[in-house]
Structure 1
Amino acid sequence: MSPESRLTTLDGSLSATIWRFRNRPSYELRRPADHHTHVIAVPISGQHHHTYFGNGSLKWSRAHPIFHLNIVVAGEQPRGLFTSDQPFSYLHVYVRHSMVERVAANSGLLDVARTVTLIDPMCSHDPVVEFVCRQIVREMSCSDRLSQKMLDALGQQLIARLLRRHSSLSVSGVLSPKASAGYRDWRLRRTIAHLEAHLADDLRPADLANAVGLSTARLTAIFREGTGEPPYRWLMDRRFTRACELLATSSLSITEIAHQCGFASSQHLATVMRRRHGITPSDYRNQALTPTVPNS
């Protein structure tokens, strides 16, 4: 099986391919471990079920929505089982580990951590990764003389996001000094579960503290220790992420999505979307629903 299209940076440290699956109801893909390269895998069209094994061990098995990512970490031997009754497509971004280390070193992070590894988020959604990957797909469609330079710039942005959210640096305390200990705190886990269940509600700090049996001051302290940010900021990030998921995968109106995710109005959601991504919710939805895979 060969990729439908490919784009590589001038120095060869990063490349992207698009794979189209359309002839069979099931596929099994496996390859030897590559100790020098990470693969960021993101479905960009269709629906399918994905079962993933790393080094022979089952890691996860679930429906894999578009633009939910997983990472085949350098050194891991991957095996994927895919089933679907419709065509689906994937974007694979191949990143040399030396490039990841270079970005971390240039940021001064390796002065503290000395080493860095990526961590597979196992089919989760990251709106920043989605936005970057959509731009990569568009550059692959254009494929003009600037595309290689654009891929290099987008790759830098992608790696920065992976270092912040999906790496040993993001859980070790280098980027958030007390994050690792906090996530082991059952009170923080219970607070996050409560927030997830009440994204649409108008939660005041005192109400949240009462719901989990803590004082407001203690809750804020535990949350900062565990996540590096206060509860309200974490909640707003989670509401925005959920809104992006619904825009990309549901037929709900933008107003309905805004209300379900705790935004005061569609205008409020639009303001946040413009500030974070520079586009409107309608544009974001159109990008999500418009096929971006080049035609055969």
Structure 2
Amino acid sequence: MNAAHDCHIHMSGVTRNIMFPYQLGAIGHSLNNPPVRQLHTFFPDQIELCLRLSGDTRNGLPVQTVAGKTYENIPYPHVLVKPPGAEYSFANFGRREVFYLIYPSGLAGIFRKTGIFDPPLCWEFSMNPELELMLKRISDYFDTSLSPGNADRIDILCFQLICELLLMKKSAGLPPDKEHELMLRIDSWIRLHAFENIEFETLARKFGLSRSSFFRYWKRYSKSTPAKYRMDLRLNEACRRLAGSRERIADIAQGVHLGEPAYMGMLFRQRYGMTPLEYRKKHSTLGNG
């Protein structure tokens, strides 16, 4: 994420226009936090979520302890959650770029329902284009956070960011057998809903995965891409209906979510070397009566 300068914005006194429950107390971005050899502290009145985007590792990776659990050798980028009242210590931090969100401790109850305080409190994540865009959209509002509605937008975007990171946390390190079991469930769902408008990002969220994790798992599960797999299901069903019924070709195209008959015709010529009508004549299982 690119930013012009370091910043720390106090949000607790900024007027909101909507009653979004996850309202920030502060937010900030530091491009070059100074190195620290050792620190021990705790924050009784706040919840802090740190995204450590990059860092100097020439002297090794940092050692961090939060809520009694020590985390070592966690590469950048990674997330660290500091629950309210939890002791926190770290050692061997080189210079680093940090994006952080701070919430009042009074929100601990509703945050707990999201699973944000469930272990681990520190985890690695992949900086994909979706996360980069989220961080950019948030930072774009920094200079105008007092403008009407912008504090609300920052609150909402930050919560979306947290949800995406929690999905990555949930899907990280999934055991192979559990991963395969999950992909079988997703496969079954795609087969059941193949003739509907499937957004794969929405599908990933439905099964508790980030978009990047979904496509990574699917690549290990199938030689076909999700889009091609879905298209194969639709074309196979179109073939079945063409051969086994007298439905109008336009109705079949709409029924299997292939759009207009002309588009279905183009797909059939590419896949089977013939039009849908020619396919019906060649493969029909119906008699002439």
Return the TM-score normalized by structure 2. 0.47
Structure with the greater alpha carbon radius of gyration: 2
Return the TM-score normalized by structure 1. 0.46
